[in-house]
Structure 1
């Protein structure tokens, strides 16, 4: 796969991720072309891209073409890109950075690897949501298995879930019963987090015990 679509609500963070990827790929700075589009990417923009993208790298064996989309891309422009994305120049990696991937046509998405960059709050709430979606022993045991491979990762996962639960508790402050439920959930998460961080507790058993005994719903 030579084409990557990076989705990030913060374009600056998206740029940083692309820069790190290009360092890992060992692309020379003189072989990196960054094209910024403040308005919708249109047909004329695609023509300009096509003129430049087939040029050979200056320094190394490969080059990168980075497109920063501050807005979106028209359907006509995306259709015009299909052939290029299906058969890009062998020496070129393509990185498309956008704040949202919802406007991309399925035919475009199928020709690229999607990288979604979530901010800390989204990650925290995602972890919390996985807990709230537990409906029975099967769900509880499966989630414990997924996040317990490394103790350090399990601890970090719990920390984010705790932050997510605190956010929800604050949002529910006007609903006393809901706020109390989140406070109880936070207490249980914090107890398990403490055990994993300060004792020799087995992370999988600790998480299984936590998830099997949750009474949030």
Structure 2
């Protein structure tokens, strides 16, 4: 599994890391996430402060070839992943896609738009608190009855930007719910599936699909 933590605030990114590590290692993490010494955490390092190149990625991939030393899962970490060159991102694709049950990757970025769509499609995105705060208040039309929801959808779908904003806010809402459920140690498969459906709906809208039909279909899928 590959996770992408999106945010600008270091404290909130640490919080996101801690939640993920607690889940992946199935124990409470008390150490400072960014300074902890653990043989099962591998951080991609680069001598170039402006970019991360393909040679850096190759060295990182070598470190990730082994099995965990003491934890249940070894973690590959790429801070500021927006600095990855396009060539470096492409060289990562197979690595991210073929991660095993004992290997996970955590990337961080302040701007997900600088990552290739092929990389983003392999990541489960986790938005930090600072990212959520800049969003409009989530209007959960998916809790309305069918007639009310379709009436609201008819208005929202007239504008592409409004449609995408609704889907982004829905994804953020589900992400927040997921983090809460992970912390409680309950099954989160349905939330994962729902997030996937929202992501697919966004792709259809971005490809100029019929916005009203996309939202109506998503409503029916999520409320079954």
Which residue in 1 is equivalent to 2:133? 123
* Unmatched runs of 5 consecutive residues or more in structure 1: 132-136, 147-217
Distance 2:90 2:134 in 1: 37
TM-score by length of 2: 0.51
Distance 1:42 1:61 in 2: 30
| Whole-Å separation in 2 of the counterparts to 1:109 and 1:36 | 21
TM-score (norm 1): 0.53
Residues 32/75 of structure 1: CA separation in 2 closer, same or farther (3 Å cut): same
- Give 5+ residue unaligned stretches, structure 2: 28-37, 141-147, 154-165, 171-224
Alignment check: 8 A CA contact 1:27 1:64 kept:
no
- 2:40 is aligned to 31
Q: 1:106 aligns with which of 100, 117, 132?
A: 117
Residue 46 of structure 1 corresponds to 57
Query: What is the aligned partner in structure 1 of residue 18 from structure 2?
Result: 19
Instruction: Say which SS state the counterpart of residue 85 (structure 1) adopts.
Output: helix
CA contact (8 A) 1:39 1:71 kept: no
- Who is 2:152 aligned against? 139
Aligned to 1:88: 99
Structure with the greater alpha carbon radius of gyration: 1
For the pair 1:55 / 2:54, whether they are aligned, the reply is no
Match of 1:198 in 2: none
Total equivalences in the alignment: 136
Aligned-CA RMSD value: 3.2
Shift of 1:39: 2.9
